[in-house]
A = this chain, B = another copy of it.
């Protein structure tokens, strides 16, 4: 998860999840790993990037909106999301985006 995601040619979709944590640990790291594992098993999952300081940003990439919707309604994901609202997150925002252009650089 520490790499830049290798994504296909545009267009594809990105879900930008920005969050501020509570001080509750309560298996957060374990949940976080589980979420990544679950996402990877989903059809249409393309990759993920994640970083956290005061604010946490996780960007997941998907083939299309249908794949994002299926991920949203994945049962285990729903259970973990509820726990996110009740315990781990003070605040979050989810933005669903169509990636229209991209460019990169590598030494």
A residues neighboring B (CB under 8 Å) = 1-5, 7, 14, 16, 18-20, 22, 49-57, 59, 85, 89-107
Majority secondary structure of chain A interface residues (helix, strand, loop or mixed): strand
A-B contact pairs, 19 of them (CB 8 A): A3-B55, A4-B92, A5-B18, A16-B16, A50-B53, A51-B53, A53-B53, A57-B59, A89-B105, A91-B107, A92-B104, A92-B105, A93-B102, A94-B103, A95-B99, A95-B102, A96-B99, A96-B100, A97-B98
- In the assembled complex, how far is the CB of residue A66 from the closest CB belonging to chain B, in whole angstroms? 13
A4 touches which of B1, B2, B18, B97 (Cβ 8 Å): B18
Decide if A98 touches B95 in the complex (CB within 8 Å): no
Complex-state Cα separation, A104 to B96, whole angstroms: 11
